[in-house]
Amino acid sequence: MKSLIQATIAIIVVTALLMYAGNAMSAGSGKSGKDTLTIFNWGEYIDPDLLKQFEKETGIHVIYETFDSNEAMMTKVQQGGTAYDIAIPSEYMIEKMKEEDLLIPLDHSKIPNMKNIDPYFLDLPFDDNNKYSVPYFWGTVGIVYNPSLVGDLDFSSWEDLWDPSLKRTVFLVDGAREVIGMGLNSLGYSLNSLDNNELRSATDKLIKLAPNVKAIIGDEITPLMINNEATVALTWSGQAADMMYENEDLDFAVPEEGSNLWFDNMVIPKTSKNIDGAHAFINFMLDADSGAQNADFVGYSTPNIAAMALMDEEVVTDERYYPTEEQRDTLEVYKNLGPDYLGKYNELFLEFKMSIR
Amino acid sequence: MQTKASKSALFPYVLWIAFFVIAPIALVVYYSLLDLHGNFTLENYKAFFTSVYLKMTLSSFWYAFLITFFTLLISYPTAYFLTKTKHKQLWLLLIIIPSWINLLLKTYAFIGIFGLYGPINAFIEVLGFDPKQMLFTDISFVFVSVYIFIPFMILPIFNSLDRLNPTLVYAARDLGASAFTTFRRVVLPLTMDGVKAGIQVVFIPALSLFMITRLIAGNRVITLGTAIEQQFLVTQNWGMGSTIAVFLILFMVIIMLITGQKNKGGRVR
Amino acid sequence: MTKLTTSAKVYLAIVFIVLYAPIFYLIFYSFNSGGSMNNFESFTFDHYKAVFEDTRLLVILINTVIVALLSALISTIIGTLGAIGIMTVKDSKMRNTLLSLNNVLIVSPDVIIGASFLILFTMVGIKLGFASVLLAHVAFSVPIVVLMVLPKLLEMNKSLIDAALDLGATRKDVMMRVILPYIKPGIFAGFFLALTYSLDDFAVTFFVTGNGFSTLSVEIYSMARAGISLTVNAISGLVFFVTVLIVIGYYFVTSRTSKRTGGH
């Protein structure tokens, strides 16, 4: 009995000490101004120095929280409880958030740096006239591969994935839209298809890919590709850029039949309590200098032309990351399929996954 | 040991059940009756009885069984030997400590260890064999799962072995019982409650494992837990996700009924 | 006490090596001057320096430990009382029902627990942050405590309690002097596994946290997209060494004092 009481007291004392230390530390890190701005972003998706610079310039204290999927982010915004001022969802999620009335319209007069964005990336179907969102980064879906290990395949066509020589080597990303979309693209269909026959034949085609599939995973593919543990992977261009930065043997290709063009965008959710601060932050991130610094840090493709002018020429002219307008014409942006077809896509994806044994 | 004092002991626990168990179950059951548009329906339950989900249920049970079996196989002797060490409490703590390091980090470490250029394959090469990709196989999946659950199995078994009166064992041996008979007739029955507790805390969560099904098994193993995760986070079909959860809870209740002890109160043997 | 045979020692050694292998692997790479957990380039302390420069990460670490310790403590108290209470329920059907309810949170995937707790907390109006995370961790740790304490209660001899009561002990005495000391190993087991649950949890915490409050697991998971930085390895290595030191130190201090006072 005595030891139980002792242990309880010890735990309480330790906790109290830790609380004291924690408070002292967070006080030291400077929570000066009352003005705060809560940002909800993907993990490691911003240069932390920029946050510090923003705090210094504006006197606004930044609270930074991270998420790892659009859907989880939306659930949290929808439930409220935290006053998120900025969130950075992907394009299809913006359509959904608009429908659910979770976004605050932007006041363009407070974002003069909007002029820095390539007009090509403005006024896109998912958000007319950028009423609610401003693009943050963009990219494509393609195949990253190790040329020395795949013979003479160059993945200019999705068909190359079905090549018998790739038995049990292909890694796929764990996303229904990406994988079913690839199946649709490989047959020449739109990756936003709402045609049950097309979807069926795409799934059947994918099931034929099963013998070649090694695994369906998420972000863990990055270290595996870097370390030459994997030879071929379906992935996003930004992630491919990370891999190629670490492992120079790798190459990235977007097959000619077409693929996905995606955007992550800054929005102001309904939960915001500092709308002026949020506009100031968006404008700050669209500035040429901070845009360039952020793109250098994150390694994804920026829509900011003024920033591109300040960046390494070799990077911004690399057609693998910055495809020409002509190449972009084969790419499609995901449309919000509506709950029924999103469910259908996921059902088919599950069926495909179960076929891998 | 009844009436008031014990009733008040039960009070915070009952409060916990009401707020954190009953309320969530009510929510889950409610959502399971909704379709994608928020209308009442039994479609989700019907959908569960399609081949995809039945196959998934079977494979979840199969893997949970394998995981529990191997965990028990490794943990029982470990717990037994631990009770015989000099500083047994310390050794026991040292079994638990690894479980306090973040699981995702350990999983990444396993990816490295099992990898083509990891230490195991380096060893295999030294022995003169070709390196093998051990990741994304059933074996690596079961291995890592067993690794995660070992402390959960060892603790209850250790606790029940620890109180085992050694004179009982000596008596049995003196009376001419073989080591095996002694174990089967004396040691095992007396530690059965610990073993049962261990099986419950391994088998039940093993049914709904997710994360490592992707990280270590590369989605070659799909459990009900993975499916729920997908329904909630990707499809945002909370209805179907909740339906699978309702079935998981039903399965758990059945397991509890099978392994539940039938005698009343303390041990009367 | 019978001595351990050599083969038993070898067996234990193998179990320990396997249990610690991934941890030593992590720590090994925390000294890697390269950026990732493969290709060891050269030895460096840089990642450890980075830990002490990163106050945000340190505050998160402290939060994590506070939540783990407090939630494990509270859930151990609730769970132990609950287990004792369950044992006093005479009706076996009722008892099985309670036990099944107990296990609901163990079988439910984290996503469901997280989402339903989030709905619950926002409905009741609990501010998301430290309090909601602590509550959630207490909630999902209670069942494991019950499951650890129960077998000890089951094997306890009822006549022991009856004898104590016959000898004129009050109910409080029985609780303090007979039951609690007997089930103590179960209580500690419950506490330690509750710590494990709390330290490992990502999904539930993600949903119920807010207003800038974060734990190490949430932080690590959100790093996965860009690769986990070795600073996290370094911080885990530090936590590991400190824990081992505390555990060994505590063990020898308590075992020496109890020897001196003649307890066991």
Give residue-wise pLDDT tens across range A158-177: 999 999 999 989 999 988 89
**Residues A41 and A160 occupy one common structural domain:** no
**C225, A28: Cβ pair inside 8 Å?**
no
| pLDDT of res. C226 | 67
Q: What is the pLDDT of chain A when averaged over all its residues?
A: 90
**Residues A275 and A230 occupy one common structural domain:** no
Q: Is C22 in the B-facing interface, judged by CB distances under 8 Å? A: yes
**Residues A119 and A186 occupy one common structural domain:** no
Q: In chain A, pLDDT over 90 holds for what percent of residues?
A: 60
Give residue-wise pLDDT tens across range B201-231: 899 889 888 888 888 888 888 888 888 888 8
Per-residue tokens: C169 = 């002990």
Residue B8 has pLDDT above 60, yes or no: yes
| pLDDT of res. C209 | 87
Confidence of residue B38 (pLDDT cuts 50, 70, 90): confident
**B contact test, residue of C16, C104, C137, C204 with most B CBs within 10 A:** C104
Counting one residue from chain A and one from chain C, the pairs whose CB atoms sit within 8 A come to 119
Number of structural domains, chain A? 3
| pLDDT of res. C108 | 82
| pLDDT of res. B1 | 44
Q: Pick from B6, B84, B242: which is nearest to C85 by CB?
A: B6
| pLDDT of res. C261 | 53
**B contact test, residue of A209, A354, A356, A357 with most B CBs within 10 A:** A354
Residue C212 has pLDDT above 90, yes or no: no
Q: Is C70 in the B-facing interface, judged by CB distances under 8 Å? A: no
Measure C92 CA to nearest chain A CA, in Å.
Answer: 30
Partners of residue A83 in chain C, C-beta under 8 Å: 211
Give the span between the Cα atoms of B27 and B24, in whole angstroms. 5
Question: For C67, which residue in chain A has the nearest alpha carbon?
Answer: A15
Q: Is C31 in the A-facing interface, judged by CB distances under 8 Å? A: no
Question: For A6, which residue in chain C has the nearest alpha carbon?
Answer: C254
Number of structural domains, chain B? 1
**Residues A271 and A333 occupy one common structural domain:** no
| pLDDT of res. B263 | 45
Q: What is the pTM of this model?
A: 0.89
| pLDDT of res. A60 | 92
**Residues A49 and A161 occupy one common structural domain:** no
**Residues A130 and A16 occupy one common structural domain:** no
Partners of residue C145 in chain B, C-beta under 8 Å: none
**CATH code of the domain containing B113:** 1.10.3720.10
The DSSP code sequence of B92-148 is HHHHHGGGGS-HHHHHHHHHHHHSTTSHHHHHHHHTTPPP---SSSHHHHHHHHHHH
Question: For A241, which residue in chain C has the nearest alpha carbon?
Answer: C226
Partners of residue C170 in chain B, C-beta under 8 Å: none
Give residue-wise pLDDT tens across range C89-135: 778 788 888 888 888 888 888 888 888 898 888 888 888 889 999 99
Measure B248 CA to nearest chain A CA, in Å.
Answer: 19
Query: For the ranges A131-140, A192-201, B171-180, which has the lowest average pLDDT?
Result: B171-180
Measure C52 CA to nearest chain B CA, in Å.
Answer: 19
Confidence of residue C39 (pLDDT cuts 50, 70, 90): confident
Q: Pick from C187, C206, C224: which is nearest to A4 by CB?
A: C187
| pLDDT of res. A33 | 45
CB atoms within 10 A of CB A133: 25
Task: Please tell me which chains touch A, using 3 or more CB pairs under 8 Å as the contact test.
Answer: B, C
Question: For A346, which residue in chain B has the nearest alpha carbon?
Answer: B235
- Domain assignment of residue B230, given as a range: 51-259
Question: For A29, which residue in chain C has the nearest alpha carbon?
Answer: C55
| pLDDT of res. C165 | 79
**B116, A229: Cβ pair inside 8 Å?**
yes
**A223, C36: Cβ pair inside 8 Å?**
yes
| pLDDT of res. B144 | 95
Partners of residue C185 in chain B, C-beta under 8 Å: 159, 162-163
Contact A344, A273 (CB under 8 A): no
Residue A349 has pLDDT above 50, yes or no: yes
Partners of residue C103 in chain B, C-beta under 8 Å: 200, 204, 252, 256
**C26, B162: Cβ pair inside 8 Å?**
no
Give residue-wise pLDDT tens across range C152-181: 888 777 777 788 878 888 877 887 888 888
Q: Is C148 in the B-facing interface, judged by CB distances under 8 Å? A: yes
Question: For C215, which residue in chain A has the nearest alpha carbon?
Answer: A65
**Residues A92 and A233 occupy one common structural domain:** no
In a domain, B41, yes or no: no
| pLDDT of res. B92 | 92
Residues 62-121 of C with CB under 8 A from A: 62-63, 65-66, 69-70, 73, 115, 118-119, 121
Partners of residue C35 in chain A, C-beta under 8 Å: 246
Give the span between the Cα atoms of B48 and B74, in whole angstroms. 35
Model ipTM?
0.87
Q: Pick from A224, A343, A356: which is nearest to B36 by CB?
A: A343
Give residue-wise pLDDT tens across range A265-321: 999 999 999 999 999 999 999 999 999 999 999 989 999 999 999 999 988 988 888
Measure C125 CA to nearest chain A CA, in Å.
Answer: 8
3-state secondary structure chain A: CHHHHHHHHHHHHHHHHHHHHHHHHHHHCCCCCCCEEEEEEECCCCCHHHHHHHHHHHCCEEEEEEECCHHHHHHHHHHCCCCCCEECCEHHHHHHHHHCCCECCCCHHHCHHHHHECHHHCCCCCCHHHCCEEEEEEEEEEEEECHHHCCCCCCCCHHHHHCHHHCCCEEEECCHHHHHHHHHHHCCCCCCCCCHHHHHHHHHHHHHHHHHEEEEECCCHHHHHHCCCCCEEEEEHHHHHHHHHHCCCCEEECCCCCEEEEEEEEECECCCCCHHHHHHHHHHHHCHHHHHHHHHHHCCECCEHHHHHHCCHHHHCCCCCCCCHHHHCCEEECCCCHHHHHHHHHHHHHHHHHCCC
Question: For C178, which residue in chain A has the nearest alpha carbon?
Answer: A1
Domains of chain C and CATH, by start: 21-53 (no CATH), 60-227 (1.10.3720.10)
Q: Pick from B6, B23, B193: which is nearest to C120 by CB?
A: B23
Confidence of residue C225 (pLDDT cuts 50, 70, 90): low
- Domain assignment of residue A334, given as a range: 139-261+325-354
| pLDDT of res. B268 | 34
**Residues A150 and A289 occupy one common structural domain:** no
Question: For B38, which residue in chain A has the nearest alpha carbon?
Answer: A339
**Highest mean pLDDT of the ranges A333-342, B257-266, C187-196, C207-216:** C187-196
**Residues A236 and A268 occupy one common structural domain:** no
Per-residue tokens: A161 = 């994935």
Partners of residue A14 in chain C, C-beta under 8 Å: 69
**B contact test, residue of A74, A78, A173, A227 with most B CBs within 10 A:** A227
Spatial CB neighbours of C93, under 8 Å, sequence gap ≥ 6: none
**C contact test, residue of B3, B73, B105 with most C CBs within 10 A:** B105
| pLDDT of res. B227 | 85
Give residue-wise pLDDT tens across range B74-129: 999 999 999 988 888 899 999 999 999 988 889 889 988 998 888 888 888 898 88
**C177, A1: Cβ pair inside 8 Å?**
yes
**C157, B77: Cβ pair inside 8 Å?**
no
Confidence of residue B264 (pLDDT cuts 50, 70, 90): very low
Measure C222 CA to nearest chain B CA, in Å.
Answer: 11
**Residues A306 and A215 occupy one common structural domain:** no
Residue C21 has pLDDT above 90, yes or no: yes
| pLDDT of res. A34 | 58
Residue corresponding to tokens 């006490």: C1
Q: Is C208 in the B-facing interface, judged by CB distances under 8 Å? A: no
**Residues A68 and A39 occupy one common structural domain:** yes
Over range B162-178, report the average pLDDT: 81
Residue corresponding to tokens 């074996």: B139
In a domain, B246, yes or no: yes
Residue A26 has pLDDT above 80, yes or no: no
| pLDDT of res. B244 | 92
Q: In chain B, pLDDT over 70 holds for what percent of residues?
A: 94
Q: Pick from A69, A217, A346: which is nearest to B214 by CB?
A: A217
| pLDDT of res. A253 | 93
Q: Pick from A218, A346, A351: which is nearest to B230 by CB?
A: A346
Per-residue tokens: B233 = 């986070």
| pLDDT of res. B5 | 56
SS3 label, residue C103: helix
| pLDDT of res. B267 | 39
**A229, B133: Cβ pair inside 8 Å?**
yes
Confidence of residue B22 (pLDDT cuts 50, 70, 90): very high
Partners of residue C20 in chain B, C-beta under 8 Å: 98
**Residues A161 and A126 occupy one common structural domain:** no
**B1, C88: Cβ pair inside 8 Å?**
yes
- Looking at residue C61, its amino acid is L
Q: Pick from A45, A67, A81: which is nearest to C122 by CB?
A: A81
Partners of residue A149 in chain B, C-beta under 8 Å: none
Confidence of residue B12 (pLDDT cuts 50, 70, 90): confident
